[in-house]
Amino acid sequence: MKVPATGRRRFAYPAIIALAAALLTVVTPGTASSHGTTIDPSSRNYGCWSRWGNQFQNPAMQTQDPMCWQAWQTDTNAMWNWNGLFREGVQGNHQGAIPNGQLCSGGRTGDGRYRAMDVPGNWRATNIGRNFTLRLLDQASHGADYIRVYVTRQGYNPLTTALGWNHLELVAQVGNTPPSQWQKVTTPHQGVQINIPATANGRSGRHLVYTIWQASHSDQSYYFCADVNIT
Ligand SMILES: [Cu+2]
């Protein structure tokens, strides 16, 4: 637990609230303005941040959204830094850098900050069709050397099984795309975004969309698990 009960009591003091707000302003958006994530269908931690970020201690989450609950309990920074799920210096060898079962945490990158994303279970899923569009938000205008979009094979069960490379099938790919070719956006966040059409033939029900975004400013690669329900 990163938020002890004493933390709550302290919030009762207005001066501390102001201080905490100031710190959040400096720390959270500072790191939170520099990278990106998939926002539709949303990555696991982005979804937990967008649904619960303003009420992350609400015990109702435990029953309404239990996988987000376990994620917030494990490390709140995985949500505050929803755009920081990346590794550096992988040199394109994603499978070598990330063991099976750890794909959703980028191989427990950042000292394991995102490890709760690897836990299989009933994450909230976005309804999509077999033809869908993946939306990737880039807040820092990194652009992409490439973006690879995978969907799990029919038969894989994200409720019971942590994601492995063997579960994935490439369904869409985008090559070198400088940020000038992305769409400028101001909501829900400032930055550029790219919409990637993809097709998940022969699939229905619960699946994961797995995205690898190789940013262009340096060897920085991002890994996103998004829970979907294919109808
Ligand atoms: Cu970045």
Domain positions in the chain are: 33-230
Pick the CATH number of 33-230 from 2.60.260.20, 3.40.30.10, 3.40.50.300, 2.70.50.50: 2.70.50.50
Query: What is the chain's mean pLDDT, rounded?
Result: 90
Q: In the predicted model, what is the mean pLDDT of residues 102-112?
A: 98
Q: Would you state the pLDDT for residue 34?
A: 77
Determine the distance separating the centroid of ligand 1 and the alpha carbon of 195, expressed in angstroms: 19
What are the tokens at 187? 């909501």
pLDDT of residue 48: 98
| Digit-coded pLDDT (tens) for 174-198 | 999 999 999 999 999 999 999 999 9
Contact present, 52 and 78 (Cβ < 8 Å): no
Give 96 or 22, the one with higher predicted confidence. Answer: 96
* Cα–ligand 1 centroid distance for 68 (angstroms): 24
Q: Compute the distance from residue 185 Cα to the ligand 1 centre, in Å.
A: 17
Cα–Cα distance, 50 to 115 (Å, whole number): 19
